[in-house]
Amino acid sequence: MIRIINRHVKPSAATLILVLLSTLFFISHAIADDGRCRDIVGENFDTAMPSAENISSDRLSSLISSLDEARYDVRALLIMRDCKIVFERYKDGLGRQYNHAMYSATKSISSTLVGILMSQGKIRDLDTPVAALIPQPPGLRGDAWSNAGRVTLRNFMQMGSGFDYKHDPVNNPIYGARQDRVALAIGQKFIAAPGTRFNYSDADALMTGTVIASLTDRSLLEFARSTLFAPLQMSNYAWWFPDQGGRLPGGWGLRLRPMDMLKIGQLYLQEGEWNGARIFDEKYPQLAWTPGVSNRYGLHWWIGKVKGVPFYFASGFKGQRIYVFPSLRVVAALTSSLSGKEEAAVPLNIVTAIIESVDAASPAGAESDARLLEMQKAGFRGETRVRQDDQDAPRRF
């Protein structure tokens, strides 16, 4: 540090230039270390060699070799650091423009829409009872409707409504297209006081979506398109499975490109800012990632820690994931079709490899980058070992 001993002596021009350059150096390094995008992001992110972003190509190559050897049905894996894609691989025959069923990763996008409504002032308090946020469903008995006065939006978003919901995608009528899903969700019996018991529930997420649609007087897809998908220049998205009233579910049904899954994660890493515009308040990520009734779940976002590194993720059936590692400045997207045991193992292996690739003492150079690039070109060739529904097929348009 330069110190001026006599305040009556003016510093020389050279001294002022030195101070200015030093200040700019520290500012530029501080900016470079926050993981934000410095250039305008269009439909797709820019790419970079892993070594250029201090990522170990050798560690990622080891991960890919293990996935290939086990023939896991991975459809896409994208890893990005400091807004540059350092790894991008798809299953043979697929590419960037295919969308994939998000299953329950949809919930985290619904959470994002709540964040947008909060920034718009349409939701002022997450502890508002849902009865004050949605109209009473036609035909719902008064005693059942009174349930909506007991449960808040925060309760639903934290999976803490207290309702006796049993997760059964095959037999639970809430998935039926001819059902009044809102009436089914609100008409359940309580087994715990709201806000006291975690119970993973598609009915709770359904109510989050119902609040969004009610406050905007638009479908979830229409509201998401105008406030999130279009500003982020996302493409080839869809939202399936409306009920008898045309209401889309807040907890499932969304289809996204893996590239656009990355955008959702990067938006949280950038605390709601995108291409110079504000999508949601900068404090919302911390709110969404604060543990609620469960220490592993916030506001429709899961909370994890591996090797001492905290991360946050959207999670969907059969291995759909959006990962955000704020301390590593890394975002990743995974789409797959995995069995129960595989879904437990594969995402953990990927998370571990990402963390270790950043922690590598000396990231590999050009030769290792080239080997990894060749692996990416080859594509995944895993075996599909689980039942495939119509929604499981990736779609180009």
Cα 365 to Cα 362: distance, rounded to the nearest angstrom: 9
Predicted confidence at residue 3, as pLDDT, reads: 42
Six token digits for residue 239: 């939202």
Kindly report, residue by residue over 248-269, the tens digit of the pLDDT: 999 999 999 999 999 999 999 9
pLDDT band per the 50, 70, 90 thresholds, residue 364: low
Mean pLDDT of 301-327: 98
What separation in angstroms does the CA of 72 have from each of 47, 160, 256, 282?
A: 25, 34, 21, 38
In the predicted structure, residue 24 carries a pLDDT above the cut 60? no
Pull the structure tokens for residue 92.
Answer: 């043979």
Mean pLDDT of 363-381: 91
End-to-end distance of the chain based on CA atoms, in angstroms?
59
Q: Measured between alpha carbons, how far is residue 349 from residues 87, 102, 357, 370 in Å?
A: 16, 20, 12, 23
Asked if 184 and 227 count as a contact pair (C-beta separation under 8 A), the reply is no
pLDDT: is 156 or 4 the higher one?
156
Split at pLDDT 50, 70, 90, the class of 23 is very low
Reported as a pLDDT band with limits 50, 70 and 90, residue 141 is confident
Q: CA-to-CA distance for 29 and 175, rounded, in angstroms?
A: 50
Tell me how far apart the alpha carbons of residues 150 and 289 are, in angstroms, rounded to a whole number: 24
Please say if the pLDDT value at position 63 is more than 50: yes
Residue 22: pLDDT band by 50, 70, 90 thresholds?
very low
Domains and CATH numbers, the chain: 46-392 (3.40.710.10)
Cα 78 from chain centroid (whole Å): 13
Q: For 90-125, write each residue's pLDDT tens digit.
A: 999 999 999 999 999 999 999 999 999 999 999 999
Q: Is the pLDDT of residue 130 over 60?
A: yes
Q: Is the pLDDT of residue 317 over 90?
A: yes
Chain CA centroid to CA 281, Å: 16
Banded model confidence at residue 319, pLDDT cuts 50, 70, 90: very high
SS3 of residue 380 by DSSP: strand
Residue 138's pLDDT band (cuts 50, 70, 90): confident
Q: What is the pLDDT of residue 397?
A: 83
Position 6 pLDDT exceeds 90? no
pTM of the entire predicted model:
0.92
Confidence of residue 363 (pLDDT cuts 50, 70, 90): low
* Mean pLDDT of the 24-42 span: 69
pLDDT for 392: 98
- 295-300 mean pLDDT: 99
Mean pLDDT over the full length of the chain: 92
pLDDT at 13 over 80: no
- Confidence at residue 150, expressed as pLDDT on a 0 to 100 scale: 97
Tokens of 158: 């934290």
Q: pLDDT confidence of 143, banded at 50, 70, 90? A: confident
Q: For strand 84-90 and strand 46-47, is the pairing parallel, antiparallel, or unpaired? A: parallel
- Tokens 């193992």 -> residue: 345
